[in-house]
């Protein structure tokens, strides 16, 4: 098992918070194959246009592909991977701008290519990140236009105005569509009390991880946690304080997890964590961090509480069978409760898995 990587729990100008960082990483993984395909399409276009424009424009595209490969390596090493991803995005725009310049600049047909990366901004970054991305694109378009054919632009401004308008329009439209999609999706999959993902979101993630595990063979850890004596908190402090305590617990749990680990509220005071790439030993260490964080954490109304955890994991090289792994973790949680609470118990037997 490799070294576990942890990301910052604070937001930046590119992502609002840790939830936004997790969404950005997930979306970047989804965009990766599409991005490679898009670069391949642009490359084919340049090859087909080689007899007219020459072959030099292919070099910047190769640089763009390399930049994203480097960014992917840095993504899991930095506590704020959004900077590496945005830098790779900006470098891609720079290399596309170079390809446009080598393809006759604003009087050629390649200027519109610079609008393609703009479409991906709102899927990963905050509004401020989108604005900066559009501004960078417009700056590069102006530089290419006046650097290659300044006189033509002065005499025929629409050569620059029209593609620039396209970039701004795509940035606005994609942002509006993404925000609307995120709001509707959040209403369906986010627990309104704690802000955690709910059972509906869990079902979708399980399907994804099952498919991924069949390809990668990487283990997946499962942690099931339950707040100890939560009913007593409601009885002695009231349900309003109980709700505040659950919010605090949710915050403490999220704070201890990696960006690509996901925590769900199963209902009441019970939570579940999925740990992609974590074997049984690593999942156990993660559960112990969660237990300590809750026991030492500051809760609403000065309430002190503890949590019990059950842990299980799929085996490396086998497909993820969620029902079997969850059953093991749930049984271990029961043992933790019966054994005195405020402890982590690992599944008593190896999970039954399917190849």
Boundaries of every domain in the chain: 18-189, 199-346
Region 107-118: what's the mean pLDDT? Answer: 81
Q: Any idea which of 44-53, 196-205, 233-242, 339-348 has the lowest mean pLDDT?
A: 44-53
Tens of pLDDT, residue by residue over 131-162, are: 999 999 999 999 999 998 898 899 999 989 99
Proportion of the chain above pLDDT 70, given as a percent: 84
State the Cα–Cα distance between residues 82 and 307, nearest whole angstrom.
Answer: 33
Tens of pLDDT, residue by residue over 209-246, are: 888 888 888 999 999 999 999 999 999 999 999 999 99
Most confident of 61-75, 101-115, 299-313: 299-313
| pLDDT on residue 354 | 37
The pLDDT of residue 184 is above 60: no
Architecture label for domain 199-346:
2-Layer Sandwich (3.30)
Going by pLDDT thresholds of 50, 70 and 90, the confidence category of residue 271 is very high
Residues 143, 144, 148, 154, Cα dihedral to 10°:
-60
Q: Which residue has the higher pLDDT, 81 or 259?
A: 81
Going by pLDDT thresholds of 50, 70 and 90, the confidence category of residue 188 is low
Sign of the Cα torsion 266, 292, 10, 31 reads negative
CB 250 within 8 A of CB 195: yes
Proportion of the chain above pLDDT 90, given as a percent: 39
Angle among Cα 101, 105, 110 to the nearest 5 degrees reads: 95
In 239-317, the DSSP E strands lie at 262-267, 270-276, 307-313
The pLDDT of residue 187 is above 60: no
| pLDDT on residue 27 | 74
Query: Residue holding tokens 């997790």?
Result: 22
The pLDDT of residue 114 is above 80: yes
Going by pLDDT thresholds of 50, 70 and 90, the confidence category of residue 352 is very low
What are φ and ψ of residue 352, in 5° steps? -85, 125
The pLDDT of residue 355 is above 50: no
Q: Phi-psi region for residue 207, left (φ > 0), alpha (ψ -120 to 50) or beta?
A: alpha
User: What predicted TM-score, i.e. pTM, was given to this entire model?
Assistant: 0.54
């Amino acid at each position: 098992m490799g070294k576990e990587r942890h990301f910052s729990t604070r937001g930046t100008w590119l992502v609002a918070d840790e939830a936004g960082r997790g969404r950005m990483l997930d979306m970047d993984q989804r965009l990766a194959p599409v991005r490679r395909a898009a670069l391949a399409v642009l490359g084919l276009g340049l090859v087909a246009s080689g007899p007219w424009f020459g072959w030099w424009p292919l070099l910047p595209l190769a640089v763009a592909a390399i930049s994203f490969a480097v960014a992917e390596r840095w993504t899991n090493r930095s506590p704020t991977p959004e900077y590496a991803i945005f830098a790779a995005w900006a470098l891609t725009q720079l290399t596309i701008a170079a390809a446009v310049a080598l393809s006759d600049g604003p009087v050629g047909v390649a200027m519109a290519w610079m609008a393609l990366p703009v479409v991906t901004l709102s899927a990963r970054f905050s509004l401020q990140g989108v604005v900066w991305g559009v501004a960078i694109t417009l700056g590069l378009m102006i530089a290419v236009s006046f650097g290659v054919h300044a006189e033509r632009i002065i005499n025929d401004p629409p050569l620059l105005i029209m593609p620039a308008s396209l970039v701004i329009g795509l940035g606005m439209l994609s942002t509006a569509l993404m925000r609307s999609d995120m709001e509707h999706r959040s209403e369906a999959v986010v627990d309104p009390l704690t802000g955690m993902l709910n059972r509906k979101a869990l079902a979708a993630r399980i399907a994804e991880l099952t498919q991924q595990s069949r390809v990668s063979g990487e283990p997946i850890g499962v942690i099931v946690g339950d707040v100890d004596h939560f009913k007593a908190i409601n009885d002695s402090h009231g349900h309003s304080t109980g709700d505040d305590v659950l919010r605090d617990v949710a915050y403490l749990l999220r704070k201890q997890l990696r960006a690509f680990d996901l925590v769900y509220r199963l209902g009441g005071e019970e939570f579940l964590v999925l740990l992609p790439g974590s074997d049984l030993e690593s999942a156990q260490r993660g559960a112990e961090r969660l237990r300590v964080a809750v026991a030492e954490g500051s809760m609403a109304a000065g309430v002190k509480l503890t949590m019990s955890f059950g842990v299980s994991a799929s085996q490396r090289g086998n497909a993820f069978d969620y029902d079997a792994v969850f059953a093991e973790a749930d049984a271990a949680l029961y043992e933790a409760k019966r054994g005195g609470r405020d402890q982590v118990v690992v599944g008593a037997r190896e999970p039954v898995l399917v190849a």
